[in-house]
Amino acid sequence: MVVGHDKHTVASLSRQLTKARRDVRAVIGSWPGRLVLVAPRNVRQWERGLGVWPGQYDDVAAVTTTVDGAIGSEAPVMIVLNPEILPRLPDLGLSLVLAHEIVHAATGAVTVDTAAWIVEGFAEYVAFKAVPLPVRFSAGSALREVRHHGLPDQLPTDVDFATPQTQIVAYAQSWVLCRTIAHQYGERALVDFYEAMLRKPDRLGASLRSVLGTTEHRLTQRWSVELQRLSSLRSTSAER
């Protein structure tokens, strides 16, 4: 862990990092290698370290990337925390962010160019599985999208993750999608499907057939049915 903060912040990071690692292991098991966590002291360090222009990642809580920033690189992977957002995160929020990013780091997802919905949706699934939050919170933006614009007719695309306006919906939709897979086929099948997509990033159809015994069309239908069901829940529902 590389940090430049006061003892209180370092202690909080250490506690939540321990919890997040435990939560990730509960789903994917142990993994080889060590985690590198970087908590820059200021925005200038954050942006220079990631090689981005000023303001580009203002709304991003954390980024998992290779040290050289290249996909397919064998360089070490690091998790970098946004120093502007870090102080505002409660312990629960920090734990969620860390678990999400640890999934990326532990599975090598940042070195593979595969569909964003499985990469981000799986990380969200693992992170949210360990916290007692109702589904109306975890999937809130996706459910509002259903109520206002109807059900999606295709899986989330990488373009959906390209802008802050569409990204928040895409993350929630992808979480519901991975949750649907876990409920329909079992959590082990979800993990196996995720790993298959990392091994063969351009073989969605083949991975769906070989691991889940389904097709993209049928999966989209099941996902839509689940979105419809969740969007009709009462606001007081405590379903997770």
CB atoms within 10 A of CB 33: 10
> Helix, strand, coil shares of the chain as percentages rounded to 5?
60, 5, 35
Burial class (CB in 10 A: 0-12, 13-18, 19+), 105: buried
pLDDT (average), residues 155-167: 93
Asked whether the predicted pLDDT for residue 12 surpasses 90, the reply is no
What was the pLDDT predicted at 95?
Answer: 94
Q: Is 38 helix (H, G, I), strand (E, B) or coil?
A: strand
pLDDT band at 18 (very low <50, low <70, confident <90, very high): very high
Write out the CATH class of domain 1-111: alpha beta
What was the pLDDT predicted at 34?
Answer: 78
Q: Which of 44-58, 61-75, 98-112 has the lowest mean pLDDT?
A: 61-75
> Could you give the C-alpha distances from 240 to 34, 137, 139, in angstroms and in order?
31, 9, 10
Q: Each residue of 179-211: pLDDT tens digit?
A: 999 999 999 999 999 999 999 999 999 999 999
Per-residue DSSP letter, 83:
T
> Could you give the C-alpha distances from 95 to 44, 55, 131, 219, 237, in angstroms and in order?
24, 24, 9, 30, 24
The average confidence (pLDDT) of the chain is 91
Could you state, in order of their start, the residue ranges of all structural domains in the chain?
A: 1-111, 112-240
Per-residue DSSP letter, 211:
I
Asked whether the predicted pLDDT for residue 77 surpasses 50, the reply is yes
Asked whether the predicted pLDDT for residue 4 surpasses 80, the reply is no
Distant-in-sequence, close-in-space partners of 189: CB < 8 Å, separation ≥ 6: 181, 182, 211, 212
pLDDT band at 69 (very low <50, low <70, confident <90, very high): low
Left, alpha or beta for 25 (phi > 0: left; psi -120 to 50: alpha)?
alpha
What was the pLDDT predicted at 70?
Answer: 67
Q: Which of 54-63, 90-99, 146-155, 230-239 has the lowest mean pLDDT?
A: 230-239
> In percent, how much of the chain has pLDDT > 90?
72
Q: What is the pTM of this model?
A: 0.93
Q: Distance between CA 43 and CA 41 in Å, rounded? A: 7
pLDDT band at 236 (very low <50, low <70, confident <90, very high): very low
Contact call for residues 80 and 114 (beta carbons, < 8 A) = no
Write out the CATH class of domain 112-240: mainly alpha
What was the pLDDT predicted at 33?
Answer: 73
Angle separating helix axes 187-199 and 91-107, nearest 10 degrees = 50
Q: Distance between CA 41 and CA 57 in Å, rounded? A: 15
What was the pLDDT predicted at 233?
Answer: 83
